[in-house]
Amino acid sequence: MEGRREYCTEDESHRVYVFSKDGGSALGINVPFVGIFMNKDLFENYSKRIRDFVFLHELGHSKQNKVIKFFLSIIAAALVVFSALFLISAVIFLFLFPFLSFGYLVRFLLSLFSLRVFICILESHAELFAVKKIGLKEYNRVLKEIKGERSKKNIIRKFINWFKRPSPKLVKWAYEKYD
């Protein structure tokens, strides 16, 4: 960890911890009951627009209901375990009982889809908090700038980003519907 500092936008201020990690790691992380962590790379290689957005997104996580977030996290962790067990079972039974293997593969895909839904619920809430702070026009600019940065990533990083990021269309729809 590189240290901590106070990070400020126009109307929000919060202490953040700065960490240094290369290789496509997260730009920001909110650790419940600990605080907001922002990657040093974010301060050195990204615009203030993206830094502010990442900060507001992570701040949005800290404003989420802790009890609901805790239970959703437990469900998500259980889904990860079940997904792994279903995938392992599918591989084991592939040669012994092919029909059983197919059933486990379907369960694996369903649990993976459910995990994506839970992650999108948590991430959409945080993203919506950030969009409410910066506005829809600025959000579109941030998306365009981030898309340029993401195009430099390898295919695995792109899949991980797709898996954990909510659809911008969903966020925009929710912003317009509930603003």
pLDDT in tens, 61-113: 988 877 777 787 788 888 888 888 888 888 888 877 877 788 888 888 888 88
> For residue 127, is it within any domain?
yes
- Does residue 113 sit within a domain? yes
* Dist CA 4 CA 29 (whole Å): 14
pLDDT of residue 130: 94
Q: What pLDDT is recorded for position 133?
A: 94
In terms of domains, do 115 and 151 share one? yes
pLDDT at residue 17 above 80? yes
| Structure confidence at residue 85 (pLDDT) | 87
Q: Is residue 54 part of a domain?
A: no
Look at the block and give the residue holding tokens 């079972």.
Answer: 89
57 within some domain: no
pLDDT one-digit tens code per residue, 134-157 = 999 999 999 998 877 666 667 887
35 in a domain, yes or no?
Answer: yes
pTM of the model: 0.80
Distances from the Cα of 146 to the Cαs of 5, 121, 136, 150, in angstroms?
24, 21, 15, 6
123-132 pLDDT, tens digit each: 999 999 999 9
Confidence of residue 60 (pLDDT cuts 50, 70, 90): very high
Rounded CA-CA distance 29/16 in Å is: 10
What is the rounded average pLDDT for all residues in the chain?
85
